[in-house]
Structures are given as C-alpha cells and as structure tokens.
C-alpha cells in the first residue's frame, strides 16, 4: 500500500504535465483549423458598378484580355494575355510590352475561339454590344474613356477595374512629371507665339486637319505639350470640339501654322496632294515640316499619348524633320 501511494505521488505531476501538453496541442490544432478556414473564406471576387450594371470580377485578375484600350491596362502594370494584333499595326509604342501576348486578330471582330483558349479571368472591352457575348467566356467590363474628363481619370478608373489603385496613382504622378519635362524641353526652342498644325496625309483623298483628337497626335500636341494651334485650327476644330476635317488644296494653306506636324508613312506623297500650294507655305519655306510616323500615332490612350508627346518634343528640340 505504501508503495502504491508513493507511485501516485511520483506519477501525478507527470500526468498533469501530459494533460496540459495534450490540451495545448488540441487548442493549437483548433486555432490552425480556424485560421485555414478563415483564409479559405476570404473573398476572391469583388463587385464593380459599371455602365452595364454590377459585374462580379476577380479580386486580382491575372489573365486579362483587352479588345481596344490596351494602353490603359499597361499603365497600371498589367500585361494582357491577349490583344487584337491589328491595333499594333498603328500602335508601335505598345509593341515592346506585348511580345508575349496572344494575337486575337482584327479588333473589329476578334477571334472568340482564341479568346476562349486563353482562359481569361477578365475581359475589358469598349463595345457594349459585345458585352453579352464576352460575358459567356469570362467576367466582362465595358470601359469607355470618353466618359472621363482627363487622362489621369481614365487611368484611375482602370486602376479600379483591375484593383490596382496604388499603381494608378504612381503612374499618374509620373505622367505629370513627364509632361512637365517634355514642355520644358521645347520651351526655349519654339519662338513665342509660334502656331502649330497637325495634319494626316494617309487615309483621305485630301489631307485631314487634326484637332484635339484622341488619336493622330492632336491630344499629344495641343493638350499635353500645350502647343498653340493655328488660328483656323482653333476656331474650326478645337473650339467646336471637332477631331478632324478634310481640307482640300484650295483651303489647306489657311489651316497651316508656323509649324506643321505631318502624320505620314514611308513614301507618302505629301506635296503631290497640294499642287501650287505646298511650296508657298511658310512652314515649308522655313523648314518647319516635321514628319511623324502614323504607325506610332493612331492609338490614343494615356500610355501612348505621353510617348507621342515626348517624341514630338525630342524632334522639335533636335530639329529632326524627317522620319529617320
């Protein structure tokens, strides 16, 4: 009997320690289990209010397909897995960022089969009519830049769509600094009061005079660089919010300012469109004709526009009038 009592006295502390240890392990397992369940229950999607109604999208999209507004997506640090290759024909400033992006074909009618193969988790389109079709493939957001009042607001909106607000803020800050640097570069090069005209010699029977257009360099020249438009460009286009107008040989000279920024391609026959007019233009006589490659200037997103403005500033500052 004395032996049993002594054994209990010796074993009791050990049993108590074991009980505490087992209880601790059980509690730890319970905590780990709750933590895992909580992490698994964390939302993986969010709801966006869009012009097409509420759309449930991934919390952090990883496989984004874009059928038009590529530059807005690049601005917030996302590389699309698929884009229409046709947009890159006149979007040279975008090409180096899209070497690994699949070609969806022509932007007017992208390949739905190819889009499905890419297994996107988000599709961004400009076309409301495509919304239902695209939504059968993946969550789809319609993004129309025209509804925003500035390029910065456009990028901010894309940052919201892709859940990258910090990246949007950083890009917009850099955007402002780059605009200021480009303007400073030409400040002492362009005479006070000098006027500018942007014209496209590529697609129409007659040259097109470009206003503060989202494409063909107008926005880069007038909005970002702050170049002064020729008087008739201002009155007939900018003041009337017109993007472009076709100017016949009889009236073309009336629109040309001290400098002419010409959208061309290799081999463009610029002056042949304007017999008896070209050689009499002061911009021609003063060697103020600057040729710009339309393949860089047809796209019009903020990402591309600042690159266009920087190239124009570089060309004006260096005096390089020809393409190469």
Q: Residue 28's Cα: distance from chain center in Å?
A: 49
In CATH, the architecture of 185-318 is: 3-Layer(aba) Sandwich (3.40)
Give the C-alpha separation, 190 to 201, whole Å: 24
Residues of the chain with CATH 3.40.50.1980: 46-163, 185-318
pLDDT at 323: 86
User: At 229, which helix (H) or strand (E)?
Assistant: none
pLDDT at 202: 83
List the CATH code of the domain at 46-163: 3.40.50.1980
pLDDT at 201: 86
DSSP assignment of 82-130 equals EE-THHHHT-HHHHTT-TTSEE---TTS--HHHHHHT--SEEEES-GGG
Mean pLDDT of successive 10-residue segments in the chain (324 residues)? 46 48 50 49 89 97 98 98 95 96 95 98 97 98 96 98 98 98 97 96 85 89 97 97 93 97 78 78 96 92 97 98 87
Q: What is the DSSP letter of 219?
A: I
Contact 304, 93 (CB under 8 A): yes
In the block, residue with structure tokens 């009519």: 129
Q: Is 15 left (phi over 0), alpha (psi -120 to 50) or beta?
A: alpha
pLDDT at 10: 52
Percent helix / strand / coil, the chain, rounded to 5: 50, 15, 35
Prediction pTM value: 0.86
Contact 219, 213 (CB under 8 A): yes
Long-range contacts formed by 28-37: CB under 8 A, 24+ apart: none
């Amino acid at each position: 009997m004395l032996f049993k009592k002594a054994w209990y006295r010796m074993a009791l502390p050990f049993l108590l320690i074991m009980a505490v240890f087992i209880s601790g392990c059980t509690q730890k397992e319970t905590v780990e289990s709750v933590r895992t369940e909580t992490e698994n229950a964390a939302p993986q999607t969010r709801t966006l209010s869009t012009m097409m109604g509420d759309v449930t999208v991934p919390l952090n999209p990883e496989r984004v397909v874009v059928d038009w507004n590529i530059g807005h997506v690049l601005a917030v640090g996302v590389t699309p897995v698929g884009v229409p290759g046709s947009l890159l024909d006149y979007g040279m400033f975008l090409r180096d960022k899209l070497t690994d992006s699949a070609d969806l074909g022509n932007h007017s009618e992208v390949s739905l089969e190819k889009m499905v193969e890419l297994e996107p988790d988000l599709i961004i389109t400009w076309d409301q009519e495509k919304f239902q079709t695209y939504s059968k493939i993946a969550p789809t957001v319609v993004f129309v830049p025209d509804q925003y009042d500035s390029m910065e607001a456009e990028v901010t909106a894309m940052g919201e769509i892709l859940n990258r607000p910090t990246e949007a803020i950083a890009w917009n800050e850099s955007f402002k600094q780059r605009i200021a640097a480009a303007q400073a570069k030409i400040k002492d090069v362009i005479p006070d009061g000098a006027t500018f005209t942007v014209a496209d010699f590529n697609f129409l029977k007659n040259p097109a005079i470009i206003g503060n257009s989202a494409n063909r360099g107008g926005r880069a020249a007038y909005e970002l660089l702050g170049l002064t438009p020729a008087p008739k460009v201002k009155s007939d286009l900018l003041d009337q919010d017109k993007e472009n107008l076709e100017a016949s040989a009889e009236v073309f000279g009336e629109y040309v300012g001290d400098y002419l920024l010409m959208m061309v391609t290799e081999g463009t026959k610029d002056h042949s469109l304007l017999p008896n007019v070209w050689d009499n233009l002061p911009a021609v006589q003063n060697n103020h004709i600057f040729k710009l490659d339309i393949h860089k200037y047809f796209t019009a997103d903020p990402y591309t526009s600042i690159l266009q403005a920087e190239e124009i500033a570089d060309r004006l500052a260096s005096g390089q009038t020809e393409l190469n």
